[in-house]
């Protein structure tokens, strides 16, 4: 298996086998990050494909100043957030579309999200966590996803988000505080009759 | 355990549920699907045109050229020809001070 630097070098020379190796090595990382942000399997799959297509087309712009995985995380986050914005925009114009006979797709319906990597006994609590995560501001959500779900260190999160470590730590503590508030609302609503 | 304590435990459990989570994997044959998309984009004429237009080698000079043409048009329109300004100035002054001879009566009785 090639080192990331060798892989990039081979990709720059148009080596097709290296691209296959890159996809094989980083597909789970890209897919899992996209899935944690968009919380939809099909959307995450589309984003994963888009990320690798962009990598293929713009590998020459990768200068090697950061780690290859950092660059991949940055592309994935940017694509996932763009995808969410596009979806929100489409939802906003859904009413107008319905007036012209386009009834919309089932993708627009809110569905219960279950992360495939969660252990069975944690399904319910992780479901609540992902609901609460959706309500966080983008930067707090990204910091939490990278640190807690992807298991990156604060330093790596800082490199991915172009911030210093102190800023990431502050983002993480705000994310946890806001998550607690959101989860409190969720559980209070759930047990209000008991 | 009262309700608040129970909810607090659930909150902590939810936040910690992300720990030890396995990575999700995409559907099989991802590389094949990516290659199919790449080939489809390269095969279509529009894809090739878009790829060419998107290249910095084409895009940056084209963008500069458009800006340059716009600036030329703006500055050329602002700078009106000298003869027009003079003529307009003379006509306006003559009108304002009524020093034009409008009728033959004015010629005979200045």
Query: What confidence tens digit (pLDDT) does each residue in A5-19 have?
Result: 888 889 888 888 999
Residues A98-123 have a mean pLDDT of 68
Instruction: Spell out, as residue ranges, where chain B has pLDDT lower than 70.
Output: 1, 78-110
A194: contact with B, CB 8 A cutoff = yes
| Stronger pLDDT, A120 or B102, i.e. the higher one | A120
- Which among B20, B34, B51 has CB closest to A23? B34
> By the CB < 8 Å criterion, does B18 face chain A?
yes
d(CA A53, CA B84): 59
Tokens of A30: 């890209």
Q: Do A24 and B31 touch (CB under 8 A)?
A: yes
Chain centroid, CA A60 distance in Å:
24
Structure pTM?
Answer: 0.74
Average pLDDT value for residue range A170-184: 96
Please name the member of A28, A53, A188 whose beta carbon is closest to the beta carbon of B34: A53
- Range of lowest pLDDT (A22-31, A60-69, A128-137): A60-69
Q: How far apart are CA A117 and CA A43, in angstroms?
A: 17
Closest chain A residue to the Cα of B10, Cα to Cα: A125
Closest Cα partner for B54 from B46, A151, A185? B46
* Interface predicted TM-score of the whole assembly (ipTM), two decimals: 0.80
Interchain proximity B7–A191, CB inside 8 Å:
yes
Q: Judge whether B32 is closer than 8 Å to chain A, CB to CB.
A: no
Supply the mean pLDDT for chain A.
89
Contact between A80 and A29 (Cβ < 8 Å): no
CB contact, 8 Å: B96 with chain A? no
């Amino acid at each position: 298996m090639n080192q990331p630097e060798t892989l990039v070098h081979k990709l720059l020379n148009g080596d097709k086998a290296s691209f296959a190796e890159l996809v094989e090595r980083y597909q789970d990382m890209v897919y899992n990050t996209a899935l944690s942000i968009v919380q939809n399997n099909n959307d995450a799959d589309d984003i994963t494909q888009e990320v690798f297509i962009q990598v293929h087309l713009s590998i020459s712009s990768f200068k090697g100043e950061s780690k290859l995985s950092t660059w991949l995380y940055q592309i994935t986050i940017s694509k996932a957030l763009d995808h969410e914005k596009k979806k929100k925009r489409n939802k906003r114009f859904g009413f107008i579309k319905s007036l012209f006979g386009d009834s919309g797709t089932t993708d627009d319906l809110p569905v219960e999200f279950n992360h495939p990597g969660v252990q069975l006994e944690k399904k319910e609590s992780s479901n609540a966590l992902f609901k609460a995560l959706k309500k966080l501001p983008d930067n707090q959500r990204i910091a939490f996803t990278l640190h807690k779900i992807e298991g990156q260190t604060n330093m790596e999160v800082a490199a991915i988000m172009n911030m210093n470590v102190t800023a990431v730590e502050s983002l993480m503590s705000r994310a946890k505080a806001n998550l607690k508030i959101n989860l409190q609302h969720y559980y209070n609503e759930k047990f209000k009759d008991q | 355990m009262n309700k608040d304590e129970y909810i607090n435990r659930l909150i902590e459990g939810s936040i910690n549920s992300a720990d030890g989570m396995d990575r999700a994997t995409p559907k099989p044959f991802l590389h094949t699907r990516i290659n199919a998309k790449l080939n489809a984009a390269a095969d279509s004429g529009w894809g090739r045109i878009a790829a060419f237009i998107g290249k910095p080698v084409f895009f940056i000079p084209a963008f500069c050229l458009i800006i340059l043409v716009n600036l030329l048009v703006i500055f050329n329109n602002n700078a009106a020809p000298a003869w027009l300004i003079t003529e307009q100035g003379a006509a306006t002054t003559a009108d304002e001070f009524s020093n034009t001879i409008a009728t033959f009566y004015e010629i005979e009785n200045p």
